[in-house]
């Protein structure tokens, strides 16, 4: 099950506070687990948020939040275009249609 990050839950700024709390704790063993327990969230969720915040600040390699959002949007558009192409492929082509000339029309 995927846990929504603070931004997705509509709590702007919480992620920064969480990252600052972890950074103040330093590299102490179990800092992330302790802070996560205090906040009532899963330690892996908190680790993910901290890593993503580091990526967004440029201190860690990876896709930023904005790049991930752009990637999701492009993938969604790509799926829509593929679906539309499949629909168009199933439609009869213009060459396959019977052409009715004006003199052949029934009045």
Q: Which residue ranges make up each domain of the chain?
A: 1-59, 64-90
Q: Is the pLDDT of residue 26 over 70?
A: no
pLDDT, mean of residues 12-32: 71
Q: What is the pLDDT of residues 52-91, one digit of tens each?
A: 988 998 989 999 999 999 999 999 999 999 999 998 888 8
Specify the residue for token string 């992330």.
32
CATH tag, 1-59: 1.10.10
Higher local confidence (pLDDT), 107 or 56: 56
- Could you give the CA distance from residue 17 to residue 4 in angstroms, rounded to a whole number? 16
Residue 12's pLDDT is 44
Average pLDDT of the chain is 78
- Could you give the CA distance from residue 65 to residue 55 in angstroms, rounded to a whole number? 8
């Amino acid at each position: 099950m995927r846990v929504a990050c603070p931004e997705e839950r509509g709590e702007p700024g919480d992620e920064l506070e969480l990252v600052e709390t972890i950074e103040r704790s330093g590299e102490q063993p179990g800092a992330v687990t302790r802070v996560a327990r205090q906040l009532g969230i899963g330690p892996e969720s908190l680790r993910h948020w901290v890593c993503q915040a580091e990526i967004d600040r440029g201190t860690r390699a990876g896709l930023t939040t904005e790049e991930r959002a752009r990637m999701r949007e492009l993938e969604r558009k790509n799926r829509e275009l593929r679906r539309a192409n499949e629909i168009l492929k199933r439609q009869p082509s213009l060459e396959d249609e019977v052409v009715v000339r004006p003199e052949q029309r029934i009045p």
